[in-house]
Structure formats: structure tokens, C-alpha cells
Structure 1
Amino acid sequence: MSLVPSLTEAVAVSAPGALVGVTDWCTHPADLGGAVRVGGTKNPDVAAVAALRPDLVIANEEENREPDLAALRAAGLDVLVTEIRTLDQALAELARVLGACGVRDRPRWLDEAEAAWAAVEPCEPPRTAVVPIWRRPWMVLGRDTFAGDLLARLGVRNLYGDHPERYPRVPLEELNAASPDLVVLPDEPYRFTPDDGPEAFPGATAALVDGRHLTWYGPSLVSAPRSLAAALRAAHR
């Protein structure tokens, strides 16, 4: 069973029928067969997970809470916890997860994702950006994040990439004072839209991007570089 939407998609397309349970946020692929919904990533129903008796529970150190994972282990379940903070880590962890789920042959989409990102050419000239992920209060990408690594490969430097925190709360006035070339606004976890986000940054160009392509690690990595690069180019017009 999977407690991580990205990994749910990876397992579902590579080992159809293997998943007995998923979270309420697991939206891809659309058809997950008979997989039971067991709550959110941060508040799974531990008893419901245990009742499914999965051979393996797939989790992530950022997406899921340690107390829930400890409770699952205490219930006698095998829990595989991934750590994904860079693209290279994502590709390695995806291979590990799929191997643990009994996928013997490396799936074609994983090779395609690796090739797609290897072919990326960073934008010229390089751009600086702030990357909000929430408002009320404003939160942005900080150090050591998967999304930040993807943007760096596309030629976009996160101005808060050296912040001590990974997802710092930063006042809007400070974000604007940083004078970024771009404000990158994903549509998840907060759903930034043309009418909700860009207006807060009158001095910068806003790039609205697909949050799944920026933050998910799985089959979406194949199309992510093309999608993100197109959104960044469009923001420069």
C-alpha cells in the first residue's frame, strides 16, 4: 500500500493491481482498481491500513509523519520510507520502491524520465525566483528540496535555496524586497491561479506551473521538463 501520491502513481502504472490501499490524495492514475482509501498523507487511518494486511507500506520522510509510521511498524507492518530531495534521489528511490513491489524489469517510463531530464537545457540567461507554496501565511521553497532541484536544472535559482529551513514562512514584503526575476506559482499544495497570487508581486513576472510536474516524482517526470520549461518561457513574454 502507498501513503504517497507520487509513489502510488509509480507503482500503479508499473505493477497494476499491486496496491491494496492508497491515500485520499492519490489521484493518478484515475483508475486504482479496488484500492481502499485510508485517509490523508498526514492523517492516515492506521487501523484501516493494518486491517488491509499489506506486505509493504510505502512512505516518504517528508510526506508522512513519523508517529504514524511508528504505529504501523508497531502493528507488525513492513514500512519502506523514501527520502527524495533531488532528481537523482528520486530516480534511485523509484527504482528501489518498484523493486520492493516485485517489479523485476525497469519500467520504460523511468528510462524516459531520466533521458528527458538529461536533455534539459537551462534557460539563458539564468533567472532568480521565489517559489511560494502557500499563502496566509506565505511559505516558500527553502533549502534542499526536490522542486528546487528541478528548477535549478531548468536554469532558475531559488533565492531562498540557502535558507536554514526547507519551507520557511517569509513575509510578503520580504519576498518582494528580494527582487526576483520570477515568482514561480504552482497549483499545489496551494492552488495559485492567475487571480490569486500574481497580484501580490507587482514588480515580478509570475510563472504559473503545474504543481504535479514540479513536486511529484513518478511517471509525471517524463513530461515535467517540457511542461515546466514551457511555463517559464511563457512567463518571459
Structure 2
Amino acid sequence: MQVQDQLGRNFQLKETPKRIISLVPSQTELLVDLGLREQLVGITKFCVHPVELRKEVEIVGGTKEVKLEKIAQLQPDLILCNKEENTFDMVTQLEPIAPVHVSNISTIEESLVLIKQYGEIFSVEEKAKTLIAKIQAGLKDFQEFVRDKKPLKVAYFIWRKPWMVAGGDTFIDHLLQQNHFENIFAEIPRYPEVDLHRLAEADLVLLSSEPFPFQEKHIEELSKFIEPEKIKLIDGEFFSWYGSRLAKAFSYFKKWHRAELPLRKG
């Protein structure tokens, strides 16, 4: 089977992979939801969904650093990486061990392409089609829900010390747009450190649960720059995890909007 990943890199697979190593948490969750749990032989310490998986599957390191010898010993048929989560050097070091598929996700559409690819690579096409249809239906319903809502200017924080946000050209920014939010830092690519005085431009500040676990106490820190009632805690997995997590994301967004922004009108 000739395979091309989302960076346009080509490689050959002799048969359907039976031993998979996933070095991306959201892709690990996707594999499980596609019925491929038994084929997983290696994951990262950050692969926390499903919660019991780390007790069942060998942990080979993190997303930026892995134990190459342990990976080689596991004799994978395919290793799954991501352009943003993993490093170029890591991919280069892994390629002598097994073929490496690298995803590159900044939109929902690119996530659906990945699901379709996994369906074909792992011979679970029907499960992939069902999942894609569920995500598309959820998105359509949510788009109708937010269609007439007034756009809000937002800042989405991912880190503290230094204070960093999701800028443009990110999957998070794409999902903010789906929520009819305008990212005030969209002109800065990736994940910049920012001047907190710019929060005066925002209608809303979102504090993510990951990768930094923001809590109520951090609202007080930022209240020097914007009114505390405009600062909201959100579940970052629904804004940053692609793959099968999208099947639950739009329901979460609707509930969050109703609970946190009940007065937001069109």
C-alpha cells in the first residue's frame, strides 16, 4: 500500500499495520475510537484518554522526547506523529525503525482527512466514515446555533510565566472562529508570548485547562488588565484535540455558551 501523510511524504506498507505506536494524545484517542486499541503497542505519557490506557500499553516517552531503544524493541509496523506535537529530529530518528506517518492539522477539514486516512491505512473504513459523518452533523448543528450570535473578541491563554496565547495558524484559532470568536492575537502566528495590556481589546479571555492547568486563582492575576467577569475557564481538550474528540466538542461548546454566555445575542 502506497501511503502519503499530511506533509506529502510517501512511504510503502506491505500490509495493514498490526503494531502501532502513537506519539500524539489526540491521535491515540482516535485510534481507540476506531476500534484499534488492541493494535496499540506504544503511547506517550500524555495519552490520557481513555484513562486506563497507560496501564495497558507501553509508555515510550513524551511528545518531544522518546526512548528510541524501547520503540525499536516493540517492533512497530507504523509510528504516528504530528508536525506540531513532535519534532523533526524525532521523526528522523524514528524512520530507521519503522515508517512514520506525520499529521498536520489546523482545520476541522484536515482532521477529517486524517480520520479518512487512518480508516484506509488500518482497514477500518466504515468506522471512519461513521465518525466523520457524526462530526459533520455536529458541526452543522453548531454552526446553526451560533449563526446569529454577535462575534466576540477573545484571547485564548495556553501558558503562564510567560503568558502565552494561541495565535493565528492554529487549530485552536480555527475552533475559536467556529464559535464566532475573533482572536485578538490572530495576526501573530502559533503560540506567542503577549503583552497583557492588550487584553483591554477583548470581550472575553479564555483560560485553557491545558497545557497549563489554569484555575480560578489565575483569574485574579489577569483582573488587573480586564474585568474578572470577562475571564472564563474552559476545557482546552475540546479546543485543541482533533480527531474523534470533535464528535463531542460541539455539544460541549453549546452547553458552555448557554452556561457562560447566556446573554450573548445576535
Distance 1:198 1:119 in 2: 35
Corresponding residue of 2:76: 54
1:168 aligns to 2:189 (yes or no): no
Match of 1:100 in 2: 121
Q: Does 1:118 align with 2:140?
A: yes
Which has the higher Rg, Structure 1 or Structure 2?
Answer: 2
- Relative to the length of structure 1, the TM-score reads 0.91
Distance 1:40 1:221, change over 3 A: same
Residue of structure 2 in register with 1:82 after alignment: 103
Pair 1:160–1:214, CA change in 2 (3 A): same
In proportion to residue count, which structure has more helix?
Answer: 2
Distance in structure 2 (CA, Å) of the matches to 1:16 and 1:110: 19
Contact 1:207 1:232 in 2 (8 A): no
Query: In the TM superposition, what are the counterparts of 1:103-182 in structure 2 within 5 Å?
Result: 103-107=124-128, 108-120=130-142, 121-122=145-146, 124-163=149-188, 165-174=189-198, 176-177=199-200, 179-182=201-204
CA distance 1:203–1:68, shift in 2 (3 Å): same
**Identity, % of aligned pairs?**
33
Q: Name the SS for the 2:127 alignment partner.
A: coil
Distance 2:46 2:119 in 1: 20
Match of residue 68, structure 1, among 86, 90, 93: 90
Number of the residue aligned with 1:22: 43
- Greater CA drift, 30-39 or 187-196: 30-39
Whole-Å separation in 2 of the counterparts to 1:114 and 1:36: 33
2:229 counterpart of 1:208 = no
Q: Decide whether the 8 Å contact of 1:95 with 1:106 is kept in 2.
A: no
Which runs of 4 or more aligned residues in structure 1 lie more than 4 Å from their structure 2 counterparts after TM superposition?
Answer: none
SS in 1 for 2:217: coil
Q: 1:192 aligns with which of 184, 198, 214?
A: 214
What amino acid is aligned across from residue 171 of structure 1 in structure 2?
A: D
User: For the aligned residues, what is the CA RMSD?
Assistant: 1.8
Q: 1:192-216, CA deviations, whole angstroms, 9 ceiling, x for partnerless residues?
A: 1122245404336122111111111
The answer to whether the 8 Å contact 2:119/2:126 transfers is no
**Residues 198, 206 of structure 1: 8 Å contact kept:** no
Distance in 2, Cα, partners of 1:25 & 1:67: 20
Amino acid corresponding to residue 153 of structure 2 in structure 1: T
Residue equivalent to 2:3:
none
State the TM-score, normalized to the length of structure 2: 0.82
Counterpart of 2:32? Answer: 12
Q: Where does structure 2 lack aligned partners over 5 or more consecutive residues? A: 1-20
1:42 to 58, 61, 64: 64
